[in-house]
Copies of this chain bind each other. A is one copy, B any other.
Amino acid sequence: MSQPATQEPPAPRAEFAVSVDLTAVVVAVTDDQPRVLIVRPAEASTGGLDALPSGPLELGHRTLESGLRAWVEAQARAKLGYIEQLYTFGDRDRTALKVPTGRILSIGYLALARETGAAAANTSWQDWYRYFPWEDWRRGRPPILDRLEPRLRGWVAAGPSRGEQTTRKTRISVAFGLDGARWSEERVLERYELLYEIGLAAEAHRDGSPTGDPESDVPTEAQPMTADHRRILATGIARLRGKIKYRPVVFELMPPAFTLLQLQRTVEALAGLRLHKQNFRRLVAQQGLVEETGGMVTGTGGRPAREVRFRQEVLIERPAPGLRLPIAR
């Protein structure tokens, strides 16, 4: 196993520089579009690439979460609601910035917010499908997949052995819903990691990936991000898509009162799928997730809708109150 040359176990540890970045995927849904808070400094530090709000962990931060909150609220001038830790990334070679004598860890967080009018200077809200265009199936199978699929198949065929080819085939089928497998909206990270591995994510070339062909990228279609931020974003989307099914987190993204269609559109925006309207409503109703405010909302382009609000009591009543996805096929 690896030991620093100087060490005698179990004792004095070899110190080297570790810096810890707290990085946030801040999500809001506006106009039926899922959006992430993006910091785009013109600085060289990100190579002009889009970045997630982040900042170093400091001594003054009592908890990791409070540190994150401080950074994001300073950068975005927005108050965060729900926050959860996603994952800690620390691969030595997965960022352009190689530090031979130290190490960078990024602790990723997911935060849910409601988009307020004015984002702070040099921050903006961006549609998250800008970074993952293959993830939006709301208007059917995304066309970009037609361009990706042959590349994936090429990678399968390029496998060094029969066995490896089979493994690769299974991987792309499961991840991208090919060869009869069903598209699974939660496999966001798996898909991104696969594209990175194959060399179809711009970041892989920047990091000096051995595989893939730099020119044959899909950069103009899918926006890359700085450092490992796109990976963190993928993790956040995946987590959120999973979580809405068994925790009432969507309501953190809704205004205090809303209609069932608005709720459905928000869920659809997050999941990247169309849902069956009547079944969605029945689900919401029978789970007791909402209660009527008594108001009606007109101007929806049709019959006026009942206005509802989140019903706090479900939290006590149900072990896993969430929105199963009655997918419209």
Give the B-binding residues of A (Cβ under 8 A).
1-5, 10-11, 13-21, 41, 43, 45-46, 51, 54-64, 67, 70-71, 73-74, 85, 87-88, 90-93, 95, 97, 99, 101-107, 170, 173-174, 181-182, 184, 226-227, 315-316, 319
> Which of chain B's residues have a CB closer than 8 A to the CB of A73?
1
Complex alpha-carbon distance, A7 and B210, angstroms:
28
Complex alpha-carbon distance, A107 and B18, angstroms:
14
Complex alpha-carbon distance, A316 and B170, angstroms:
7
> Which of chain B's residues have a CB closer than 8 A to the CB of A319?
182, 184
Given contacts A2-B21, A5-B19, 17 further A-B contacts (CB under 8 A): A1-B45, A2-B56, A2-B61, A2-B67, A2-B70, A2-B95, A5-B17, A13-B58, A16-B59, A18-B20, A18-B57, A62-B92, A63-B92, A64-B90, A88-B107, A90-B107, A174-B315
24 example contacts (A-B, Cβ-Cβ < 8 A) are as follows A1-B45, A1-B227, A2-B67, A2-B70, A2-B97, A2-B106, A2-B227, A3-B58, A4-B17, A4-B60, A4-B97, A4-B99, A13-B19, A14-B56, A14-B59, A15-B17, A15-B19, A18-B18, A59-B101, A59-B103, A61-B92, A64-B88, A105-B105, A170-B316
> Which of chain B's residues have a CB closer than 8 A to the CB of A184?
319
> Which of chain B's residues have a CB closer than 8 A to the CB of A88?
64, 85, 88, 107
